Amino acid sequence: MKETKINYYNQSVSEVLKGQESSQDGLSHTQVEENLTKYGHNQLETKKNTTLLQKFIAQFKDLMIIVLIVAAVISVFVGEGVDAIIILLVVVLNAIFGVFQETKAEEAIAALKELSAPQAHVKRDGKVETIKSEDVVPGDIVLLEAGDIIPADLRLLESAGLKVEEAALTGESVPVEKQVNVLTDTNLPIGDQKNMAFMNSNVTYGRGSGVVVGTGMKTQVGQIANMINNAEETTTPLQNNLTQLSKVLTGLILVIAAIVFVVGMVRGNESLINMFLTAISLAVAAIPEGLPAIVTITLALGTQRMAKRHAIIRKLPAVETLGGTQIIASDKTGTLTQNKMTVEKVFVNNQLHDTADVQFKDYPYNHLFELMVLNNDSKQTGEGLIGDPTETALVQFNLDKGEDVDKLVQAEKRVAEVPFDSERKLMSTFNELPDGRYLQTVKGAPDELLQRATFYEFENDVKPMTDEERNLILKTNHDLATQAIRVLGFAYQIVDEVPTTLTSEAVEQELTFAGLIGMIDPERPEVAQAVEEAKQAGIRPLMITGDHRDTAAAIAKRLGIIEEGQDDAVISGTELDALDDETFAKQVKQYSVYARVAPEHKVRIVSAWQKQGKVVAMTGDGVNDAPSLKQADIGIAMGITGTEVSKGASDMILADDNFATIVVAVEEGRKVFANIQKAIQYLLSANLGEVLTLFVMTMMGWQILAPVHILWINLVTDTFPAIALGLEPAEKNVMKQKPRGRKSNFLSGGVSTNVIYQGLLEGIITLAVYGIAIWFPVHASYAQSHADALTMAFATLGLIQLFHAFNSKSIHGSIFSATTLRNKFFNWSIVVSFILLAATIVIPGLNDIFHVSHLDLYQWAIVGGASLSMIVIVEIVKWFQRRFATR
């Protein structure tokens, strides 16, 4: 039966208390025990985790792993125990790595639990008690003050200037001013539920109390934990590509091996055991047993390079996934912006200035900057400024301008105040001046302030407030507000004594207006450039935030996510709720900015784009981002400001919280994909050449290459050069190309065609060398001629693959460039591989083990020339490919 959702913000205090069977004095201890039994402890639940053994066994269900195990068994059967050990070692290492990654992912919920407040102050039986937060139950009366972490979801009963920072839950950058009045609107987003306080939020200012209406999994954070638990595990494009490739290779292996076996038996020239060994040789030749290891090594090397550029990869496939990213859905607060209120505009002397242009010496008679410090409750500590973000921004502005804030506060000490309240939207203080009089400072909403101002300050004079002046101030306030800038007004008056009645009506009258301060959570300076680079790379950036629509739109325009006049590209969480999934899926491409959204909205947005076939990256730093980070193809968490929850649910962490690092990571991801693609083209074309050689030799009834020859060629040529291709530098204009998308795979972009013709070419050249050696023998002995032909085919098949490794340095580009020999590891890998290949022929004793003969210079010249022709032919084909592609 579906649980009925209760909107506590629509209920009065008395209704909520009655519903929770509580009172202003709190629960009795008997009720606490009953509720503890009924609702359980105030803790988050996790889904039952599988054991390490179960996780380990599950890793072997992958098709490529099964193929590798078969290859290992085959290697053992033909007596190549060393090769079998290497293959099995790769399999086990991959399984261990998979278990490690799965275990790390489960830490997301554990991190949520660590966020819980360690203690809570509650009222029970009319007495205040301090208890563990896990012992809080529905109906408890929780007392709140600045610095507290809220232990559960509360319906507020009292609020004395209470402000709560909810950025980690809602994404809103400014602390929310709380109230206790009933809210009549229904379906309000979390950020607008002003009479509620939510688990794990922080009290930044004031005090208050509330009755617990939700604990554990029944809280907003609990709902997020539930979404993480129930999120579907998505497979990355890399995993999909490897699975698809495994299926193709498996089919190819079975078909070719069966054909060769049947044809050989029909011909009757070979025994059953010899044809079985031949079929095994073909299977070994077809299986690129080094592919998983090469992919893993290439990804690991990419991970190391990205770590040096502040992008920490938690899951290896994420490196490749980044390269295919088509959508970056980014949280605003703390990701695109600095999550730090900053003074950006100053209106003084009837002029609006950027803060960079303001120098205090230019305004010796104005009180504005003095008022910013005196009408302020923030404090300086060894760890920096502490207090409400708005107030710390005002002090920081003065500090940045070289003002001695502490000296000013000490010289003009506060003696009285009229605290801020949300109805009048003002705050006043009285500070003692050196001459014995008192300076009354007032700050607050400009429109409210102007109703009480009868004068205004202009340069070194005080003038009567006029309608013209008032309209100018209001227009400035409006213009700034439309730019998502938060505006505070400042006024003052000097009095001989502090009034005995400290009320707004008594003291906040006949004020002198001093100026306006415009503040904003500014965008990170490098983000606009990063957004532009992302667009050039064919990536669409989205902004998702808990802030209001106007704020979100203004920041998005400043960053270039949307342009002026694109207001229809902005949608709010409430508007999103009004759309069903089908309608939203049709309209999702219209929206680039999502404002006032809840956690479930973020998951819905990511899912909608994924249903469009897009590869989606999601960035975030808060608890509210965790479900969408897990849902996305790649979740990116902030390393500095990010919660442990968001990090645990992510695939990548930005160590510097720099959005621009994402673009760097995308470039690295594209390079990794390109390098893996090069390695796959190289391996598959080489293996196809081997298969073709063995297949034709069998069909012709020729003496064929033995399994030991194929295994040695695979070991020598498939390992070092393929790994070295993973170290290739990025090709030009890699970030000017469109993302390859979800449907792309390692065989797309002309790779499949290249694999086929290059593999056929390798096989044809090898068979040609074999034929030349047979038809134009160096020795008169028939047996020796066949031995030489077999050796020359063996040497050609190995050497041609080493030359072909140079072809594979670019899928379509020419290797004749200044960068061809830049990769020193690649150069050495070719040298080492050649030595290992040649050693089996030229070193006495080894040639007997490998059943090959010595070759003279004439024979080596044929082998070398034939192998080198591979580069010439492929370069000609590439030239035609580029020419037709340009046309």
Residues marked as catalytic? 331
Is 461 in a helix, a strand, or coil?
strand
Beta strands in 81-195 (DSSP E): 119-124, 127-132, 141-145, 153-165, 176-177
Residue 128, CA distances (Å) to 35, 36, 124, 145, 212 in order: 19, 19, 6, 14, 15
- What single-letter amino acid sits at 771? G
Q: Are 687 and 287 in contact (CB under 8 A)?
A: yes
If residue 176 lies in a helix (H) or strand (E), which one and from where to where? Answer: strand 176-177
Q: How does 529-550 read in b/e, with b if 16+ C-beta sit within 10 Å?
A: ebbebbeebebbbbbbbbbbbe
Q: Distance between CA 189 and CA 169 in Å, rounded?
A: 11
β-pair partners for 207: 145, 160
Q: Are 289 and 82 in contact (CB under 8 A)?
A: no
Nearest alpha-carbon partner for 463 in 382, 350, 555, 376: 350
Beta strands in 257-326 (DSSP E): 311-313
If residue 680 lies in a helix (H) or strand (E), which one and from where to where? Answer: helix 659-700
Residue 223, CA distances (Å) to 83, 164, 219, 274, 786 in order: 51, 20, 6, 64, 74
The DSSP output letter for 27 is B
Alpha carbons within 13 A on the beta-carbon side of 52? 4
Q: Distance between CA 667 and CA 302 in Å, rounded?
A: 11
Q: Are 121 and 151 in contact (CB under 8 A)?
A: no
Nearest alpha-carbon partner for 178 in 144, 137, 218: 144
Q: Are 608 and 584 in contact (CB under 8 A)?
A: yes
Nearest alpha-carbon partner for 183 in 13, 336, 390: 13
The DSSP result for 183-200, as a single string, is P--SS--GGG-TTEE-TT
Q: Are 707 and 284 in contact (CB under 8 A)?
A: yes
Angle at 296 between CA 749 and CA 311, to 5 degrees: 90
Q: Distance between CA 43 and CA 200 in Å, rounded?
A: 12
Q: Are 120 and 142 in contact (CB under 8 A)?
A: yes
Strands 634-638 and 652-654: parallel
Length of the chain: 887
Beta strands in 401-559 (DSSP E): 414-421, 426-432, 438-444, 453-458, 461-464, 486-495, 511-520, 540-544
Per the listing, tokens 């002198």 go with 512
Per the listing, tokens 């408890």 go with 140
